[in-house]
Structure 1
Amino acid sequence: MDITRLIHQDEHIIAPAEPFEGFSWVQRRRHKAGDDIPLCRKRRRPTPPTQRQMLEDIYRETRYPSAEMRRRLAAIHHTTSRKIQIWFQNRRMKEKNDAARYSHKDKMMAVTDILSAPRHALEAEKVFLQDRTCDPRVSWDNVVRKFPTSILELSQTGHLSATAYACYIILLLIDMRSVLFTLTLLSAALADGIYMLNVTDVYTESSKGGNAFCTIGNVIVQVTAPNLDIGVSPPADQYEATEMINTLESIRSKEYIRAYVSSKFNTVRNYSIAVKLCAPSYDLNAVERRMVHILVHGIGFDKSYWDFEDQYSYIDQAGARGEWTFSFDRLATGNSSYPDAVSDVQSPTEVSILSVLINHLRTGYFGVRFNHVVGVGHSYGSLLINGLLKQEASALDAVVMTGYTAETMYSNMGLASLDLVLANSTSRFAGLTNGYFVPENTIGVQQSFYTWPNFETSILNASTQNAQPVSLGTFFTMGSLLGATSYTSPVLVLNGRNDYFFCGGDCKKAGKDGSDASAAVQLAIFPRSRNFRSETLEITGHGIALHKNAAYSNGRILDFIYDAIRM
């Protein structure tokens, strides 16, 4: 059964001919007056596999189905909405109990190691001194589980401080999540404020739905990038800015860019990049999975695009499935650096930053080493992934490109509809130079990113209020990102049918000769991919993750990644 139709359809549901007997709950036998026979229960029948699979599929998309969804499920299964609700309650409880049993088993094994004869004490000491943290996601894996050593002996010999020893013992024996987080933060403060390695200004928070526990801070990234020497100065005022943007968005843009770009130069710079590493809240030991999704947002957004609100959070849904995520504010967005808008904030620089961050994730620079890194991009973020794979075909183990096609003729339409203004004309970016522009008009943002009626006005207004700048250098250099790659790993292209930026309003017909533009990406960009898939979502615009069907689209991405990495 098509779960999308089940979740979104409005038409009447016709129940199947065979009744569903998976919800035969406790029933009582009737007895004649005076009988001394105790009431008994009717034996429950197991849920048929096909019905259970459908419920499991829906559970993977939403653990808390709405009343309307429960009513539709009840109609299909010839049961009541209440019994559907109980099934989901029991399923959530099973997931919680399974996680608790797993955690308890690991803790008991670790305690056994502590009480047993120590081995590899020097290796454990070395790892701990490198970590300098009591992060359960790092030190538990690196010391307690990797080395069957005795923390007690290390403490007695002076290799571990009393604070570190107490922290480890508490992490082993206490299973109260709130207390665990509090002690983790306390231990981080005692360890010179280091919580996620090589990151400053650290703080923690939960994802919007509470299914992921995130560490946030800033990391200094050194990049070497072949930037373009752009011989143009920022506009003097809004009138000149509007004319410059109009030219860059017109059919004269290539000629205009060639007139001002004379050569390339290698730039070597250090930039402060705001990063966010999120682990599953219910399974802090999930680091053993060794896979992380690196999330790259597009123009007009920052990293909050991936964790915008409850029910609009890729990070939260990934956490619910036991997956780690790593998001970051691209250069000149959010809490990252805002360098020169012409010479620094260019596409080659951003590709280099992305490459460095992926390398950090693979090498354990942040304290956790991941064997698999999957790239998930949106819009310009997808273009940056494309640009990276042109240079490093093995940089990522799988990629998901959203808000992205190989068609370039429509992008100027989307940019034009944003009604960009000088960023420093707004109070939020008053300190920036005239080389930065920002969308400020809610109607323009709607036209570019949303499709009515598949969005909430509160989400539209919030995304407009948080709109991020785009640099003049980005306009001049983004055209170099799109192109064919020799990438052979799995690829998913996911677009909204009404995408204005890359499809001119209809991705089903925006390809060559009126073909599906999402599917056409395979031949144009990823001809060597051994596993290419594409999907186009109905009544959905460019900002896929901010539409009402965000839970479904996020679920499709997570399903693909799960299959791609484990196939």
Structure 2
Amino acid sequence: MAALTKLSALISILTVIASAQALYSVPNGKCSDVLLPVSVTAQNAVLNITAPHNQQELTDFIAQFTSLTSNSTTQIIGAPVTNNATYKIWTELCLPTKQDSANTVEFAVHGINFDHTYWNFGGPGSKYNYVDSALKAGHAILIYDRLGTGKSDKPDGIKEVQTATEVEIAAQLVKFLRGNPFGSRFNRIIGIGHSYGSVQLIGMLGKYGNLLDATIITGFTPFSGGLNTAFGSLGWAIASEQNPKRFGALPSSYIATQGIINDQQVFFRFGNYDPAVLKAAEAGKATATLGEVITQGAGPAANYTNPVFVVTGDKDYIFCGGNCYQAVNNFTNLVDFTKAVFPGVSNFSTFIPAETGHGVNLHLSAPQVYSKIQEWIAQL
């Protein structure tokens, strides 16, 4: 009871803070951004590593971590440790000009190498802007910078910025949406994640069950055969050295992809993207932390039973090794294989956009993807 009282009080505080922010107009709606203080209690892990002293140390760690016979994770991850903390998380809540009859709000979680701009890429009116698509469909949408990215807090990248803490932050933000921010009552919350953001949604649903009314997983399958190759191909660098102007104040536990060549190989499918988009994505990329890299993983969400829609490009280099049309177990392709993560879900469907790489929203196929997602939501 005490915990529920504390949570209710927190939500009330957050609602007051959010309500005080000025709304600004975007196509088909209005938005407001605010730094929300989010309190969490998470079971992180003691990681038996130290922040790299130089690039050679980091490169050696990546080489060992991604070797085919590596057991680095089991060697590094130690005993659980409780992380009690409050973090400032940058959020943007957008409300549609005309709300749909179900009073839907979408909750979007971005992946590694991105911040919240993955969801509104290109700005208002851009065909890559997923927020525009949601608002046009009559849905409110909350996007945010995950811990350690964008305008959110950037605490210790080994001890604090781990998957368990980020999953708890996501859960608290969903509960915040249940608290009627801006006086809006949302009757249906639909989560949408990309890549590591999908991993976080799966982790949240595995712990909290039907916290979401429906879930959209993008840029993900449970296939691990290509992970080491893809992760090693990103050419990880100490972020403060890779881009001193943007990341110079960050400790060496924060890492960034080396450059545009690495980003193209892992996130894009040649021939189905605008080179200007690749250049802009590289210029605006975000960091990752060693804590995230070591602790990421998605076990089955066994207690979740609400609808799931999976959208992963057929040429996803990270989660399909570049070819999602591989049969595994009793599944004809790797995207359908994601059903194994949701054993209790009966309403499960997939869409595999053609000639599309890992960064789904940044391809020329993005408008088709957005249309498929909104069609799926409309038939729920």
TM-score, structure 1 as length reference:
0.62
Aligned equivalent of 1:385, options 188, 197, 201: 201
The amino acid that maps onto 1:561 is I
Q: What's 2:114 paired with?
A: 301
SS at match of 1:557: helix
More helix by share: 1
Matched, 1:533 2:349: yes
- Selected match of 1:198 from 17, 24, 32: 17
Partner residue of 2:269?
A: 451
Distance in 1 (CA, whole Å) between partners of 2:134 and 2:156 is 35
CA distance in 1, matches of 2:129, 2:322: 25
Aligned to 2:312, the other structure's residue is in SS state strand
Q: Is the 8 A contact 2:313 2:352 kept in 1?
A: yes
RMSD of the alignment, in Å?
2.1
Work out whether residues 212 and 315 of structure 1, in 8 Å CA contact, stay in contact via their aligned partners in 2. Answer: no
Change (3 A) 1:486 1:238: same
Q: Which residue matches 1:346?
A: 162
- For the residues of structure 2 that align with 1:366 and 1:257, how far apart are their CA atoms? 43
Report Cα offsets for 1:211-247 as digits up to 9, x if no partner.
3321111100000000001121101101111111222
2:17 maps to a residue whose letter is N
Structure with the bigger RCO (C-alpha within 8 Å, sep 6+) is: 2
Are residue 517 (structure 1) and residue 334 (structure 2) matched?
A: yes
SS at match of 1:554: helix
Judging changes above 3 Å, is the alpha-carbon distance between structure 1 residues 236 and 195 closer, same or farther for their aligned structure 2 residues?
closer
- The question of whether the paired residues in 2 share the 8 Å contact of 1:202 and 1:217 is answered with yes
Correspondence 1:290-439 to 2 at 5 A: 290-309=103-122, 310-365=126-181, 367-425=183-241, 426=243, 427-439=245-257
Match status 1:273 vs 2:92: no
Q: Which has the larger radius of gyration?
A: 1
Counterpart residue identity of residue 293, structure 2 = F
Identify, as 1 or 2, the structure richer in strand.
2
Deviations 1:534-560 (A, max 9, x none): 111111001111111111101111111
User: Please, which of 322, 327, 333 is the counterpart of residue 505 of structure 1?
Assistant: 322
When normalised by structure 2's length, the TM-score is 0.91
1:227 matched residue in structure 2: 44
2:372 is aligned with 1:556: yes
Residues 235 and 252 of structure 1, relative CA distance in 2, 3 Å threshold? farther
Supply the AA of the counterpart residue of 2:277: I
Structure 2 distance, partners of 1:288, 1:368, is: 13
CA-to-partner distance for each residue in 1:501-537, whole Å, 9 max, x for gaps? Answer: 0000010116348830111211x11122121001111
Structure 1 residue runs of 5 or longer lacking an equivalent are 1-193
Tell me how many residue pairs correspond in the alignment: 364
Answer yes or no: is the 8 Å Cα contact 1:375–1:385 preserved in 2: yes
Question: Residue 486 and residue 444 in structure 1: after superposition, are their counterparts in 2 closer, same or farther (change >3 A)?
Answer: same
Letter of the 2:94 counterpart:
C
Q: Does 1:477 align with 2:290?
A: no
Contact 1:332/1:339, CA 8 A, preserved across alignment: yes
* Residue type of the alignment partner of 1:217: V
Specify whether residues 410 and 204 from structure 1 end up closer, same or farther in structure 2 by C-alpha distance, changes over 3 A only. Answer: farther
